[in-house]
A and B are shown apart, each in its own frame.
Chain A
Amino acid sequence: MIALFIRDLRLAVRAGGGFGLGLAFFLIVVVLVPFGVGPDRAVLEPIAPGILWVAALLSCLLSLDRIFALDFEDGSLALLATSPLPLEGAVLAKTVAHWVTTGLPLTLAAPALGILLHMKPEAYGYLFASLLLGTPALSMIGTFGAALTVGLRRGGLLLSLLVLPLYVPTLIFGAEAVRRGAEAMAVQTPFVMLAGITAGAFALLPIAAAAALRVNLR
């Protein structure tokens, strides 16, 4: 599992693409928003947490189809399925690798981009914490979606259609946690729910994703 994790990390970094691209997309979306709604501080300040969360979610979506597609094409996914490592474990390793290459950089970059959107200073900590808790769930749900659509030739658009509704609860609780934090309200409930979604996704979705992979490899 660890070997697979390190292999995926190496591939992501060396092949270019996913690693930097997600971050660049994140930056561009955040830069585009003020062009759309105007540079007014009174407009940007309340919507900044929501924008950052939606942008993070979209850039997470970008690299999802790479999780299994290449391995499926060259047959290494079939090798993984027949290896002694349970397919659920392989799914988990790939999810963590995806998170380290997209979710983690996004989390680290988000507070810096908050400056561009005039986010309240009190909200930075909450934004960082909510993204740190929530992006693993995004990676896990996305991996499930990627496992469902891996056998399709043009699965990219379908993948977004399948995965985006599944992202709704994570987005709601994540953005709500930051919004409440910025307004100095109680943040315990959204944080607990966010952690619950992440933990639940990591417990259950590897099984579903592995089941979908087995069907696609049949």
Chain B
Amino acid sequence: MSIWEYANPKKFMATTTPIAPWALYGSLALITVGLCWGLFLTPEAINFGHSVKILFVHVPSALMAINAWLMMMVASIIWIVRRHHVSALAAKSAAPIGMVMTVIALATGAIWGQPTWGTWWAWEPRLTSFLILFLFYLGYIALWSAIEDNDTAADLTSVLCIVGSLFALLSRYAVRFWGNGLHQDSTFSADKETHIDPSFWWPSVISMGGFVLLFVALVLIRTNTQIRLRRADALEARNRRQS
């Protein structure tokens, strides 16, 4: 029993088809609980007022925007090293989800920034890094859709993803060097004591868990769709050869 068994598309589909709906239901439940708790049962924060409650969407989506890219990078490396088609398709499926998460993070950030910082947009390190991350997603998806041959597309996008990860990291530090921050320092961390009130901490963590599960569910469903699309293409090609 090793994880590479799931490189077999059939095995992958058989295992993930029952898991995906449960992940989806779980994520919906967690997001509902997290958001209801966050929106209705938390106090208003000093200096923020009601606007602080957008935190429960903003932080999880930002988290997933970055982790989706990380997942794509790992999947790309697996594709380049071990040539498992499922891995390449998973990376392909994750890209639009990550891009949407980036847009959600940017949009909620703008909505939140307007009342608290007095501006929709500032050329501030984290905002700018996210905008650059959005451009990377855009380029990656555009490259996938521009190439007709599936294997070529998988190879080229994987190379782009790995090189892009390096440059995204570099951009992050360059941008930090270039502008001054408005964001507070990291509030959530695993090893240090949190700087956030416990009444906000639990709903945010639940909401984050919900977003993670949502991402997993969507990636599984989309990967299954991609595998089926491949099969449909193969069938069509076979029919054309026979006729």
Interface positions of A (Cβ within 8 A of B):
144, 148-149, 151-152, 155, 158, 161-162, 164-166, 168-169, 172-173, 176, 189-190, 193, 197, 204-205, 208, 211-212, 215-216, 218
* A173 proximity list for chain B (CB < 8 A): 174, 177
Complex: A158 Cα to B160 Cα, angstroms: 13
B129-157 interface mask toward A, CB cutoff 8 Å, 1 = contact, 0 = none? 00010011011001100110000100110
In angstroms, Cα B167 to Cα A166, docked, is: 6
B171 located at the interface, meaning its Cβ lies under 8 Å from any Cβ of chain A in the complex:
yes
We find that the number of chain B residues with CB closer than 8 angstroms to chain A is 26
- Residues on the A chain within 8 Å of B170, using CB: 169, 197
Q: How far is the CB of A138 from chain B (nearest CB, A)?
A: 13
A215 touching B155 in the complex, CB below 8 Å, given contacts A165-B136, A165-B139, A176-B177: yes
> Which of A155, A165, A190 has the largest count of B CB atoms less than 10 A from its CB?
A165
Does B163 sit within 8 A of A, measured CB to CB? yes
Q: Are the CB atoms of A158 and B167 closer together than 8 Å?
A: no
A212 to B154, CA, bound (A): 11
Across the interface, which residues of A come within 8 angstroms of B70, CB to CB? none
B175 interfacial by beta-carbon distance below 8 Å: yes
Q: Are B139 and A172 in contact (CB under 8 A)?
A: no
Report whether over half of chain A's contact residues are helix, strand or loop; otherwise say mixed.
helix
Is the pair B177, A189 in contact by a Cβ cutoff of 8 Å?
Answer: yes
CB distance from B169 to the nearest CB of A (A): 9
Q: Are B156 and A215 in contact (CB under 8 A)?
A: yes
> Across the two chains, which residue of chain A brings its CB closest to B163?
A208
- Is the CB–CB distance between B156 and A161 below 8 Å? no
Residue B156 contacts which of A165, A197, A212 (CB distance < 8 angstroms)? A212
Contact between B160 and A162, CB atoms less than 8 A apart? yes
B156 engages A158 (CB within 8 Å): no
Q: List 14 A-B contacts (CB under 8 A).
A: A149-B143, A155-B146, A158-B139, A158-B143, A161-B142, A162-B139, A165-B139, A168-B171, A168-B174, A169-B173, A169-B174, A190-B177, A205-B163, A215-B155
Q: Which residues of B contact A218 (CB under 8 A)?
A: 152
Pick from B143, B167, B177: contact of A148, CB under 8 Å: B143
Given contacts A144-B163, A148-B160, A152-B147, contact A164 B135 (CB under 8 A): yes
B109 close to A (CB within 8 Å): no
Q: Which residues of the partner chain B approach A152 to less than 8 Å between Cβ atoms? A: 146-147
Residues of A within 8 A of B142 (CB): 158, 161-162
A113 vs chain B, min Cβ distance (A): 23
Contact of A169 among B155, B160, B171 (CB under 8 A): B171
> In chain A, what residue has the closest Cβ to B153?
A215
Partner among B132, B146, B177 whose Cβ is within 8 Å of the Cβ of A168: B132
A149 contacts across to B, CB distance below 8 A: 143, 146
Q: List the 9 closest pairs (A to B, CB-CB), nearest first.
A: A169-B174, A165-B135, A215-B155, A172-B174, A169-B170, A162-B139, A168-B171, A166-B167, A172-B178
**A176 contact set on B, CB distance < 8 A:** 177-178
CB distance from A179 to the nearest CB of B (A): 10
User: CA–CA, A164 to B164, complex, Å?
Assistant: 11
Q: Are A151 and B147 in contact (CB under 8 A)?
A: yes
Contact B178 A158 (CB under 8 A): no
Quote the shortest CB–CB distance from B141 to chain A (angstroms): 10
B143:A216 contact, CB within 8 angstroms: no
Extra 14 A-B pairs, beta carbons < 8 Å, given A165-B136, A169-B174:
A151-B147, A158-B143, A161-B135, A161-B142, A162-B139, A162-B142, A165-B139, A168-B132, A172-B177, A172-B178, A173-B174, A193-B174, A204-B166, A215-B156
A215 and B132 contact, Cβ closer than 8 Å, known pairs A168-B167, A169-B174:
no
Q: Across the interface, which residues of A come within 8 angstroms of B135, CB to CB?
A: 161, 164-165
Q: Which residue of chain B lies nearest to A162 when distances are taken between CB atoms in the complex?
A: B139
Chain B residues whose C-beta falls within 8 Å of the C-beta of A193 in the assembled complex: 174, 177
B39 in the interface (beta carbon within 8 A)? no
User: How far is B173's CA from A155's CA once the two chains are assembled, in angstroms?
Assistant: 30
